[in-house]
Chain A
Amino acid sequence: MRKKNILSLLVVGFLALVFNFSFAQENADQEAGEPIDEKEEVKEEIEEAVDLNLLDSHYFTLFSDEEANKHYGFALPVIIYDEGVKIFSAAEFDHGNKVVEKDGKHYVYHNSKIYSTDASGELIIGDNGFPTNKKPLDFSITRNVFVTIITAILIFFVFVSMAKTYKTQQLPKGIGRILEPMIVFVRDDIAKESIGPKYYKYVNFLLTIFFLILFLNLFGLVPFGANVTGSITVTVVLALLTFFVTQFAGNKNYWKHIFWFPDVHPIVKIILIPIEILGMLTKPFSLMIRLFANMTAGQVMGMSFIGFIFIFKTWVAGVGFFGFSIFIGVLGLVVAFLQAYIFTLLSALYIAAAVEEEHTSEEDTEELPIV
């Protein structure tokens, strides 16, 4: 039993590195006392770990040991606005075990959120399962913000240094050799292909969101990274940007199609107005949900397969699910590129629909995919 545990531990240890799975080593010292209870316990722990890993966090945790309540990593700064800006280290919450008192106000840390409480630190759980306590405005540098900043800096330096190499020579060198075809792909096959001759106005935006999403997706796959694009807030931001760029790009023809659809009966025109406005909103909404769901699903799948190893705790399951996890990881890599491509392509198509000149033929922008 012990030997098996050690083996599965080795496998999991490796996978934890591969899949950013900050799971604890709690099984190492456990004796196989009551099998059923233990299984239930492991299941719950896995669920919790998966849930927590999907959430944003105020800690940058590399490993954690729930049993001993030990977390290896570092706390990120908390910045909250609650009748005055309060800045302190998240370490003061001690992973939700302590109530923090600032300027006579008490705060408690629960499932990656900060809630206002009284001195006792009690949370009132509402009907929907979430605490009803008031939340102060939280401008903390959370793990997602932290990883995004690091990614943004990385992207900036990678591409600026790449841009510099063109000053001395015509061909890119180093990582530019991989990135240049991707830049040309975004420019030619996404921007130019969809938008047409006016592409150059939007190519900067498209290139930036493509590489930002791609890098963030890839950061979700590497050890100690965070699943930033699996966070609804991040996808809201990206979709919102596409929405605004599309609206600002919109020409007379685009607005005419929304508010006074040409070549149909006036009654139909009036009926079409709310539908068109809804369509305007569903496009970015679908972008938001697609990216969020894909990245979250990838993360959940990867972690669930690792979780299975702990539930079954056999040599066969260990190897089998290890293989599955690798498969999901490779799939995640493909999905990382695919989702960045889809997001950028659809953004380009929406912009294209907005800048399109009036057509003489009937076929128009309406076949745009929103799914």
Chain B
Amino acid sequence: MEKLINDFSFGLFFFQLGIVIILILLLKKYAWGPILSAIDNREEGIRKALEAAESARLEMENLKSDNEKLMQEAREERDQLLKEAREIKQNMIAEASTEAEEKANDMIAKAKAAIQAEKQTAMADIQAQMADLSIEIAEKMVKSELSNKDKQMQLVDNMLKEVELN
């Protein structure tokens, strides 16, 4: 301890104190101030850049999800359209087929009716002709038959029988 006290030098103390205080003040103004503010600015810049990158990334993600949503919507719309088209097609086909059937039925019915009519006309014609022919034949036969009285009676009888049968 005595050695330490003996070693203590007032001059050195005085100079040292002066140097350190001057150094603190000078460095504060010319070194630490600018250096620390530069470091702070840089750190702030880095922080901002990181934040910007993060927000850009989020935006990208949003855009991506938006895109996906749009794609999804488009896909759904396409599917809807296709479905509708398919339905329309089926409807059309079904409608067309019923229409055709109806038409065909109609035509068939008409044809049937025409055939019936024709047949009736033809039948009537045939009947008329038959009647004519029958009358002619009958005339001829009557002419030949009426030449004798018995035969005439027989004929009348027959005819009457026939009529009765009819």
Which residues of A are interface residues toward B (Cβ below 8 A)?
55-56, 79, 113, 128-130, 137-142, 144-145, 148-149, 152, 155-156, 159-160, 162-164, 166-167, 170-171, 180, 183-184, 187, 203-205, 207-209, 212, 231-234, 236-238, 240-241
* Contacts known (A141-B15, A145-B15, A155-B27); A236 close to B8, Cβ less than 8 A: yes
Contact B27 A233 (CB under 8 A): no
Contact B31 A232 (CB under 8 A): no
Q: Of A139, A163, A236, which is within 8 A of B34 by CB?
A: A163
Closest Cβ–Cβ distance, residue B87 to chain A (whole Å):
67
Contact B12 A56 (CB under 8 A): yes
B35 in the interface (beta carbon within 8 A)? yes
Closest Cβ–Cβ distance, residue A293 to chain B (whole Å):
10
Contact B7 A183 (CB under 8 A): no
Q: Of A113, A144, A205, A231, which is within 8 A of B24 by CB?
A: A205
- Residues from chain A with a CB closer than 8 A to the CB of B16 are 144-145, 148, 233-234, 237
Complexed CA–CA distance, A184 and B38 (Å): 11
B28 in the interface (beta carbon within 8 A)? yes
Closest Cβ–Cβ distance, residue B3 to chain A (whole Å):
8
* Contacts known (A152-B19, A208-B20); A231 close to B39, Cβ less than 8 A: no
7 A-B contacts, Cβ less than 8 Å apart?
A148-B15, A159-B30, A163-B31, A166-B34, A180-B35, A183-B39, A231-B7
Complexed CA–CA distance, A183 and B43 (Å): 14
- Residues from chain A with a CB closer than 8 A to the CB of B31 are 156, 159-160, 162-163
- Residues from chain B with a CB closer than 8 A to the CB of A166 are 34-35, 38
- Residues from chain B with a CB closer than 8 A to the CB of A234 are 12, 16
Interface flags for B78-98 (1: CB within 8 Å of A; 0: not) read 000000000000000000000
Chain B contacts with A in 17-33, Cβ cutoff 8 A: 17, 19-24, 26-28, 30-33
Complexed CA–CA distance, A55 and B6 (Å): 11
- Residues from chain B with a CB closer than 8 A to the CB of A141 are 15
- Residues from chain A with a CB closer than 8 A to the CB of B19 are 145, 148-149, 152
Contact A204 B24 (CB under 8 A): yes
- Residues from chain A with a CB closer than 8 A to the CB of B36 are 183, 187, 203
Q: Is the interface of A mostly helix, strand, loop or mixed?
A: helix
Q: Which 9 A-B pairs have the closest CB atoms?
A: A166-B38, A159-B31, A163-B34, A204-B28, A139-B11, A237-B16, A233-B12, A138-B11, A145-B15
Contact A208 B7 (CB under 8 A): no
Knowing that A129-B2, A145-B12, A163-B38 touch, tell me 11 more A-B residue pairs with CB under 8 angstroms: A138-B11, A140-B11, A159-B32, A170-B38, A170-B45, A208-B28, A208-B32, A232-B7, A232-B8, A233-B12, A234-B16
- Residues from chain A with a CB closer than 8 A to the CB of B22 are 152
Q: Of B6, B10, B23, B27, which is within 8 A of A137 by CB?
A: B10
Contact B39 A180 (CB under 8 A): yes
* Contacts known (A130-B2, A160-B31, A183-B35); A231 close to B20, Cβ less than 8 A: no
Contact B34 A233 (CB under 8 A): no
Closest Cβ–Cβ distance, residue B13 to chain A (whole Å):
5
Q: Of A138, A152, A160, which is within 8 A of B9 by CB?
A: A138
Complexed CA–CA distance, A144 and B16 (Å): 9
Contact A208 B24 (CB under 8 A): yes
- Residues from chain A with a CB closer than 8 A to the CB of B64 are none
Complexed CA–CA distance, A187 and B43 (Å): 13
* Contacts known (A79-B11, A139-B15, A163-B34); A155 close to B23, Cβ less than 8 A: yes
Complexed CA–CA distance, A236 and B8 (Å): 9
Which of B2, B11, B36 is most buried by chain A, counting CB atoms within 10 A of its CB?
A: B11
B75 in the interface (beta carbon within 8 A)? no
Closest Cβ–Cβ distance, residue B24 to chain A (whole Å):
4
Complexed CA–CA distance, A162 and B32 (Å): 10
* Contacts known (A148-B19, A166-B35); A233 close to B8, Cβ less than 8 A: yes
* Contacts known (A55-B7, A180-B39); A156 close to B23, Cβ less than 8 A: yes
Closest Cβ–Cβ distance, residue B1 to chain A (whole Å):
10
- Residues from chain B with a CB closer than 8 A to the CB of A156 are 23, 26-27, 30-31
